[in-house]
Amino acid sequence: MSSDRRFRGPIDLHTHSRVSDGTESPSELVTAAAVAGLGTVALTDHDSTAGWAEAGVAAVENGITLIPGMELSTRVGWASVHLLAYLFDPADAALLAETERIRVARLLRAEEMVERIGHDYALDWDDVLGQTNPGATVGRPHIADALVARGHALDRSAAFAGILHWKAGYYQPHYAPDPLLGIQLVVAAGGVPVIAHPATRSRTDVELESRMAAYADAGLFGLEIDHRENTDEGKERLRRVAERYGLRLTGSSDYHGAGKPNRLGENTTAPEVLDALIERGTGSAPVYPAAR
Ligand code: AMP
Ligand code: FE
Ligand code: FE
Ligand code: ZN
């Protein structure tokens, strides 16, 4: 299998552009990935594939492999669960309908949060629009940027630790499907689902564990174990879970440009795992550099 391997390492399977809450265009992001020495990068904007075409052109120009992807918002109760999806059909009607529903819900939710924040701080929706690329999937990071521009927070991280924290009283959840439905939709679209940062400092990891058998049955491919927000103890536990259900392990940066401290390539995925992922994905193809 490795004889026809057409990608190079290092492999980083989780990044965001301005199509969602990153700070670079898809093309700038792919160029930054090449400059950082990566051989393969996945673009995984939240609930959108709008960056795929531009990223593909930049990948060819920069001689690196692009894995088209997305980070689908899902939810268990109040806890948000992020599902990475790779190589699915971007025109699949059911998946498109669901991402559209999520994106509309995100927009309404952001407007409501800003309305509430506006009672206590000078901030309105135009401030947020000024920080958001047209058509982008809107999230708390865009509200954070507006708060920073208004001088209410020093940077995104400070805004998240303060005004945007769920404990601050302005937080609001938004509609997102159950992870099981997310997995089913991605698989039906020919894609490969991987649960993003499944062992962060919340109790969702424990809840997820009890559901893992159903997720695996539905076609879950893997768990993103090597991610800076997973706890050591959680990683250890989920490695055993992965072994039990035959799930693959991935690692990635979750790069957001200047929006987060995460650096490209700070965590990577093994070539064998990407081989298996490419073999599984049938909805779209990787963009490979021109043959030399
Ligand atoms: P939302 O999905 O709108 O609730 O916002 C969550 C998003 O905010 C995540 O996808 C992260 O990319 C981003 N995020 C979370 N915490 C931080 C932080 N401390 N600094 C910057 N971005 C963050
Ligand atoms: Fe994000
Ligand atoms: Fe995430
Ligand atoms: Zn992410």
pLDDT tens for residues 28-54? Answer: 999 999 999 999 999 999 999 999 999
The 10 Å Cβ neighbour count of residue 193 is 27
What is the spatial distance between Cα 112 and Cα 25, in angstroms, rounded to a whole number?
A: 27
What is the average per-residue pLDDT within 159-182? 97
Q: How confident is the model at residue 5 (pLDDT cuts 50, 70, 90)?
A: confident
Give residue-wise pLDDT tens across range 261-271.
999 999 999 99
Residue to mutate, 104, 107, 140, ligand 1, most ligand atoms under 8 Å from C-beta:
140
Report whether pLDDT(223) > 70.
yes
Cis previous bond, 10, omega within 30: yes
Residue to mutate, 17, 132, 143, 160, ligand 1, most ligand atoms under 8 Å from C-beta:
160
Least confident of 106-110, 169-173, 287-291: 287-291
CB 268 within 8 A of CB 11: yes
Cβ contacts of residue 81 below 8 Å, gap of 6+? 74, 75, 179, 195, 198, 204, 208
Res 209: pLDDT: 85
What is the spatial distance between Cα 166 and Cα 169, in angstroms, rounded to a whole number?
A: 6
Report whether pLDDT(147) > 80.
yes
Long-range contacts of 230-238 (CB under 8 A, 24+ apart): 230/197, 230/198, 230/199, 230/200, 231/199, 231/200, 231/201, 234/198, 234/199, 234/200, 234/205, 235/199, 237/199, 237/205, 237/209, 238/198, 238/199, 238/205, 238/209
Q: How confident is the model at residue 203 (pLDDT cuts 50, 70, 90)?
A: low
What is the average per-residue pLDDT within 211-221? 97
Res 4: pLDDT: 65
Ligand nearest to the CA of 103: 1
Report whether pLDDT(206) > 90.
no
CB 52 within 8 A of CB 90: yes
Give residue-wise pLDDT tens across range 79-92.
899 999 999 999 99
What is the spatial distance between Cα 29 and Cα 14, in angstroms, rounded to a whole number?
A: 12
Res 291: pLDDT: 72
What is the average per-residue pLDDT within 108-122? 98
Cα(258) to centroid(ligand 4), Å: 14
Report whether pLDDT(95) > 90.
yes
Residue with tokens 């995984």: 44
CB 60 within 8 A of CB 30: no
Cα(20) to centroid(ligand 2), Å: 7
Res 144: pLDDT: 98
How high does pLDDT run on average in the chain?
A: 96
> Which atom of ligand 1 lies at the shortest distance from residue 46's CA?
10
Res 187: pLDDT: 99
Q: How confident is the model at residue 3 (pLDDT cuts 50, 70, 90)?
A: very low
How large a percentage of the chain has pLDDT more than 70? 97
What is the average per-residue pLDDT within 165-178? 96
SS (H, E, C) the chain: CHHHCCCCCCEECCECCCCCCCCCCHHHHHHHHHHCCCCEEEECCECCCCCHHHHHHHHHHHCCEEEEEEEEEEEECCEEEEEEEECCCCCCHHHHHHHHHHHHHHHHHHHHHHHHHHCCCCCCHHHHHCCCCCCCCCCHHHHHHHHHHCCCCCCHHHHHHCCCCHHHCCCCCCCCCCHHHHHHHHHHCCCEEEECCCCCCCCHHHHHHHHHHHHHHCCCCEEEEECCCCCHHHHHHHHHHHHHHCCEEEECCCECHHHCCCCCCCCCCCHHHHHHHHHHCCCCCCECCCCC
The 10 Å Cβ neighbour count of residue 203 is 10
pTM over 0.75: yes
What is the average per-residue pLDDT within 224-250? 96
Q: How confident is the model at residue 204 (pLDDT cuts 50, 70, 90)?
A: low
Number of residues that make up the chain: 292
Q: Is 256 in the pocket of ligand 1 (CB under 6 A)?
A: yes
Q: How confident is the model at residue 292 (pLDDT cuts 50, 70, 90)?
A: low
Query: 216 or 202: whose pLDDT is higher?
Result: 216
Cα(71) to centroid(ligand 2), Å: 9
